[in-house]
Structure 1
Amino acid sequence: MSEVVIVNCTVTDARPGGGGRIADAAVWVRGDRIAAAGPRPEVLGQAGGARVVDLGGAYVTPGLVNMHTHLSLSLPGRGGDDVKNMTPHELALYMADGARRTLHCGVTTVRCVAEKDHADFALRRAIEAGRASGPRIFTAGRALVCTGGHGHEGTDTLECDGPDGFRRGVRSQVKAGADLVKVMISGGIAGEHERIDTPQLFADEMAAVLATAHAWGRKVTAHAGPAAVIAEAVELGLDCVEHGYQLTPEVVRRMAERGTALVPTLLVTRCKEFFDELGVPEWMQCRSLGAGPRHLESYALAVEAGVEVLLGSDMPPFWAFEGTSASVRELEYMSEGGLGPERALYAGTLGPIRWLGAEADLGTVEAGKYADLVAMDADPLAATSAFRGIRWVMKGGRVVRDDRAGWEGQ
């Protein structure tokens, strides 16, 4: 069992009350978990002869968590067509490369919310077995959608109709190994023959999804844009909203009261460069970018109401965008939109982990947790842009990135 002790750093995590802020800290990593974290003299006294890793005054936080990930994303247009036309073997390799790049940009956990052909399960097994490099994967498998509904064209969705059909859909994803369930309950920006505010499930279908998933111990997240559709789903017990393009004060109040989280994906309505790069058609660009102002207003309402907001980019987590990765840029937008650096740190680390029910193993820099850590030179509690400077990444006690000259990996 390998052992290292990380020194010359400030530990910063999002535990309430400031308990996760330790100056002149050390983190003792034994195997894949943290054995101790605290003041340097105290930890060094426990660590004995463990190899010392000097981080040169860096700030150390838990790895980022991206809650809206599509490693097999294929939007309308040239770039998306290239992905759709891949063979199963090509798709698996493409997704594995995306997983590796995701981990290297500092995202150590992802929540996949619709992937093609159940390749996400094979990728997760490969990562867990050490045959591939990538983040920890929590996945919904294929998203559930009504016949002809949002995203029905791809193999990352499963068409269902009626309460019985949606119950079977939930069970089929649980059978495949899904950790959660994703359902499309309204139109969106990528469906040519729908509007963002097009309702796509009846109340009895939504109720069937929620009751079945909850009976199997799975949370449900919903692609959803308009307030009326979201309001109905929240009252039925929805656990999380993706996007929330058109929220209202009444809806965010109920979301806060009922504990329904929001993954706002602010990037998707302000990413013309990304769309141009992929050859996304004009009709989708107009719909997406046109929804931007209202989307940002909706997000601000949610923050003000106290809704639990969580990091999720929709754009591939590792994608280079506006000078950084999509994950970091999304977190910056969230911070700038009213969250501020302290709550942004929570939204990008501990908050998502709590939603996933994984806080016993992840989310903070504490003894007993997996050693999933990132390091940067600036203070993330002073400015969320500090994450642009991630220069060192550890997952499960193994260093997977170190920008210092001469580093060759472990």
Structure 2
Amino acid sequence: MTPAPEIVLRNCRVWDGVVETPIADAEVVVRDGRILACGPAASGDRSLRPGAVDVDLHGATVLAGLVNMHTHLSLSLPGPGGDAVAGLSPHALALHMADQATRTLRAGVTTVRCVAEKDHAEFALREAIAAGWVPGPRIFTAGRALACTGGHGHGSTDTLECDGADGFRRGARAQIRAGADLIKVMISGGIAGEHEAIDTPQLTSAEMAAAIETAHAWGRKVTAHAGPAPVIEEAVRLGLDCVEHGYQLTPAVARLMAERGTSLVPTLVVTRCREFFDRLGVPAWMQQRSLGAGERHAASYQMALEAGVEVMLGSDMPPAEPFEGTTATVRELEHMVALGLSPRAALAAATAVPARWLGAGDELGTVEPGKWADLIAVDGDPTADVSALRRLWWVMKGGVVVRDDRRAAPGS
């Protein structure tokens, strides 16, 4: 699909991600896939390019497309639902992930950060999306996550088992060779490992240092699956760029993260997702570990907010997963707000902040001239109530409308 030469989005409010409140009676001009202008509606007639298209957004609020920073398009948790995905052939897996990508885009998530996918299939998917063969979000990926032998996520083709400093250097280089944008390391146990605990340390200091130093030397950031505060503290002191989950932070470690500029993707929804687990048939031991960690997880997140840690949206399940009347992405944002983040800060954590972390802040994350026209429209004001995102009905990526629930039916 190619964008029209010029598109004018009218009859809308715009939250550009820069000012505090949405701009009333606004318009956005999109040309050749990028934002040409944004602001109060122009008075009088304006000359448009031949073939220009006017789009009436019926008073909706327009904002930048969402960025989900903890995505697994090939997720397969323990249980029958996950087993079905794990058993797919390579060809079927690619089709499954393509379907997840399309659903993700239609859910208003225009960019994802994949943090462990099976068989490096997301690299081919990324190319297919860029070529226009498959509709989907912009993909930034870590390739396969690096784990120690028997470590968190072992036994699946979305992780690579490594041991020793040299092993983790080779593992990081192998992901970079494949085209990884970042590196992920599994530095502690977690929810989905039957023979571990959330607070099980899994990497030595030398192994963590090797992965971080190698990635940084190649210009890649490093994020870590991590639960306990002592392990997180050690990794932060070694230069870790981001923590996934952070189930058991302490105020002191949260302050250290803020001082060192280490971000947090809290994935609050993963300790509050009985409905999702039940649907997949996740075993009792995992449900108990996950749901039982919820209170401590929330406290850790609040410690991070109090310390001033930069937080970013991540669902740790497919972004468009139907969940509690909305998607996993929106439900995560609602949890982030309910536990202390303001609605506007939560929207920034889902747009501009992750775009900057990914090194794409000049291209994505806000509604400003020159950036890609990755835009969504919702009824209501999400800067006052993020639950307005439940009423998302229009999505554009790169100047192409990929969802319009109010488009007139043929012949109407």
Normalized against structure 2, the TM-score is what? 0.97
Stretches of structure 2 lacking an aligned partner (at least 5 in a row): none
How many angstroms apart in 2 are the aligned matches of 1:330 and 1:153?
28
The change in CA–CA distance for 1:61 and 1:225 in structure 2 (over 3 A counts) is same
Find 1:63's aligned residue among 52, 56, 65. 65
The change in CA–CA distance for 1:405 and 1:327 in structure 2 (over 3 A counts) is same
Specify the code of the residue in structure 2 equivalent to 1:136. Answer: R
**1:1-38 CA distance string (max 9 Å, x none):** 521100111110322x53x7322111111121111111
How many angstroms apart in 2 are the aligned matches of 1:250 and 1:392?
43
Q: Is 1:365–2:364 an aligned residue pair?
A: no
**1:197-240 CA distance string (max 9 Å, x none):** 00000001101011000000000000000000000001111000
Q: How does 1:2-401 map to 2 (within 5 A)?
A: 2-15=5-18, 17-18=19-20, 21-41=22-42, 45=46, 47=48, 50-401=52-403
Stretches of structure 1 lacking an aligned partner (at least 5 in a row): none
Paired residues, number:
406
The change in CA–CA distance for 1:46 and 1:257 in structure 2 (over 3 A counts) is farther
How many angstroms apart in 1 are the aligned matches of 2:44 and 2:360?
25
Q: CA deviation at 1:303?
A: 0.9
How many angstroms apart in 1 are the aligned matches of 2:301 and 2:48?
45
How many angstroms apart in 1 are the aligned matches of 2:48 and 2:311?
37
Moved segments of 4+, more than 4 Å: 46-49
How many angstroms apart in 2 are the aligned matches of 1:56 and 1:46?
23
Retained in 2: the 8 A contact 1:9–1:58?
A: yes
How many angstroms apart in 2 are the aligned matches of 1:51 and 1:137?
28
Retained in 2: the 8 A contact 1:5–1:47?
A: no
How many angstroms apart in 2 are the aligned matches of 1:122 and 1:398?
22
The change in CA–CA distance for 1:46 and 1:199 in structure 2 (over 3 A counts) is farther
Specify the code of the residue in structure 2 equivalent to 1:161. Answer: D
How many angstroms apart in 2 are the aligned matches of 1:300 and 1:235?
21
Q: CA deviation at 1:63?
A: 0.4
**Structure having the larger proportion of residues in helix:** 1
Q: CA deviation at 1:285?
A: 0.5
How many angstroms apart in 1 are the aligned matches of 2:9 and 2:141?
32
Percent of aligned positions that are identical: 69
Question: In structure 1, the residue corresponding to 2:59 is in which secondary structure?
Answer: strand
Specify the code of the residue in structure 2 equivalent to 1:36. Answer: A
Normalized against structure 1, the TM-score is what? 0.97
Specify the code of the residue in structure 2 equivalent to 1:2. Answer: P
Question: In structure 2, the residue corresponding to 1:81 is in which secondary structure?
Answer: helix
Q: CA deviation at 1:377?
A: 1.0
Retained in 1: the 8 A contact 2:375–2:397?
A: yes
